[in-house]
Amino acid sequence: DDLLLNDQVAQEEFRDAQLNALRDSYGENEEEEQHDFENIEHPTPPPDAKIVDNFDVKHNFKVVDPRAEWVPLPRPSQPSVPRIKFVEEVGSRKSSDPYAKNNFNVHASNKLPSDRKVPDTRNPMCRKRKYPEDYPPDLPSTTIIFTFHNEARSTLYRSVRSVLDRSPPELIDEVILIDDASDDPEQGKIVEGMEKVRILRNHEREGLIRSRVRGANAAQSPVLTFLDSHIECNTDWLPPLLEQLHKNYRAVASPTIDVINMDNFRYLGSTSGLRGGFTWSMQFQWETAPLKGKSAIDPIPTPMIAGGLFSITKRWFDESGQYDLDMDVWGGENFEISFRTWMCGGRMDIVPCSRVGHVFRKQHPYSFPGGNGRTYDKNTARTAEVWMDEYKQHFYHARPSAKFAAVGPLEERTELRKRLNCKSFGWYLENVYPELSVPGRDMVGFGQIKQGMQCIDAGAGTLNAKLAVQHCLPQDSDKQEWIFRNDGTIKLQDGHGTNFCVALDKDNHAVLHTCTTDPPMLWTYTESKQIRHRETGLCLTSSKKPQLRAFPCGSTSNENERWAFTK
């Protein structure tokens, strides 16, 4: 036992040293624990409406000032306190920094009506299907589960209202809010007394994972619907989600996530046709879903969910092992539930006709007891240990700090995997996510493409943008991550759901085009580490730095034509 203990202590000390080194390298100090380490990945918003306009003109949604369109909706309930007053008097002080508490502009939120109208961002085809006529008569009803820690009152209230206002009442049994030990015990009072609302408060901070399970255990409905506490449901968002579960009790259904701008709270439609994927460092990312000849409003199978917004039957949630209760605070649980669902006989889809807006922010507004890098390492390492089989090596390679995570006991989860007779991670990769490049298997190289400290950079990162040779940025930066695939294409991996590959323009500048495997987009990585354009035979060179251009191979110096991959 002593030996074991010593081992554990040694391990912890080693880990602490590693973390301190990491922290130093990012200029962090101990007191600033609640701030982000740079190595914590934040879910990025999907491309916003600006991009929608370029990409998907047929949808043609306008970005409108929501206030201009606002018409009062019927009130779901009479508040027990004059809520708007409550928000203004207690929730915000005009003089203070509006970002200080929530890392979004809370003044912008407070100013908006709690029941403002949002633009209907759905594909117009969705509007043809009406509830209840065009849905199965016995759609299951749901309990809505919000967990929150210090959520701003106006966003919390608007989240609940949007659920009650935009859902058929007979499909909502209850709205359960878990107050995850917010500093002010009255934080949830804003929604108290609202129709169907029940508030449970954790006396100690449990984190969103255990809080959701508490909510799930208290719920009575056949379906559980989890939401973040700063969202707004769009028109008819619920029936299309429930329909998925009605078809298959093992299905998990996520809405398409729109963007509520964190500075001005405008509601922006995000581009359609995206699904969730990830990198080996366990960073969630949006990517273009393969079309496979389906209609634009068919549910999109997704290897991964963003994590916060989804419906699941209570039966499947319980049968499949809820969540891993040893995961703390935030992060990693979306990987765990996604691998588990697919590998153990379920499925996951993003439903285009269901849209819910979410306030994306850049940093956590709350503290992580134990530090956020450490928490993310622990949660993701638990996922890797239980679910990723031999592929976990690629995770540890991409996220070295996770090697030192104190993962805690895993038996319960490995037992669960056995009991449910789940398939292997290899099966998941082959059948659910064949597009994920496995290091060393189906690509020439990935990561940054480098010459010393100079990297190939995607420039503006938009269609036809000129590539450049720039100073290398920290890894996982969204302009310098590439995959050179065996099919000869070099794809940008920016995590925003784009689908851009390297091509040459008429002046032989390297540019971004939409990926195809047509000859102009194919390259060869030569023995002497040149990147040679197959069609023209030219080689990429940095000789006209910062421009990235192609010239006859060997016509510029070796140095300028030699490229290395970081992974």
Q: How far is the CB of 153 from ligand LR7 (least distance, A)?
A: 13
Instruction: Please give the Cα distance from 560 to 552 (Å, whole number).
Output: 12
260, 309, 351, 540: which one binds ligand LR7 (CB under 6 A): 309
Contact 484, 446 (CB under 8 A): yes
Q: Which two tokens stand for residue 11?
A: 């391990």
> Which residue's C-beta sits nearest to Mn ion?
228
Question: What's the rounded Cα separation, in Å, for the pair 115 and 563?
Answer: 55
Least spacing, CB of residue 63 vs ligand LR7, in Å: 19
Closer to ligand LR7 by Cβ: residue 316 or 366? 366
Token pair, residue 427, equals: 């099966």
Helix then strand then coil, in percent of the chain rounded to 5, is: 30, 20, 50
* Closer residue to ligand LR7 (CB): 333 or 377: 333
501 binds ligand LR7 (CB under 6 A): no
Selected range binding ligand LR7 among 26-34, 133-141, 302-310, 472-480, rule: CB under 6 A? 302-310
* Residue 348 makes contact with ligand LR7 by CB under 6 A: no
CA nearest to 310, candidates 415, 194, 220, 226: 226
Which H/E stretch holds residue 223?
A: strand 223-227
Mark the segment that binds Mn ion (CB under 5 A) among 69-77, 166-174, 220-228, 453-461.
Answer: 220-228
Calculate ∠ Cα 393-398-402, nearest 5°: 75
Q: Where does 235-309 show beta strands of DSSP type E?
A: 251-260, 267-268, 274-278, 284-288, 300-301
How far is it, in rounded angstroms, from Cα 262 to Cα 360?
6
- Which of 177, 257, 300, 449 contacts ligand LR7 by CB under 6 A? 257
Tell the smallest beta-carbon distance from residue 257 to ligand LR7 (Å).
Answer: 5
Residues numbered 157-216 forming contacts with ligand LR7, rule: CB under 6 A: 180, 205, 207-208, 211
Query: Which residues within the stretch 297-356 sit at the binding site for Mn ion (CB under 5 A)?
Result: none
Number of residues binding to Mn ion, judged by CB under 5 A = 1
Shortest spacing between CB 173 and Mn ion, in angstroms: 24
Task: Tell me the DSSP string of 323-339.
Answer: --TT--SSSSHHHHHHH
* Distance in Å, CB of 144 to ligand LR7, minimum: 12
Of 228, 258, 336, 377, which lies in the binding site for Mn ion, with binding defined by CB under 5 A? 228
Are 454 and 542 in contact by the 8 Å Cβ rule? The answer is yes
Does 104 participate in binding ligand LR7 (rule CB under 6 A)? no
List of residues contacting ligand LR7 (CB under 6 A) = 43, 147-149, 151, 180, 205, 207-208, 211, 228-229, 257, 306-309, 329-331, 333-334, 358, 364, 366
List of residues contacting Mn ion (CB under 5 A) = 228
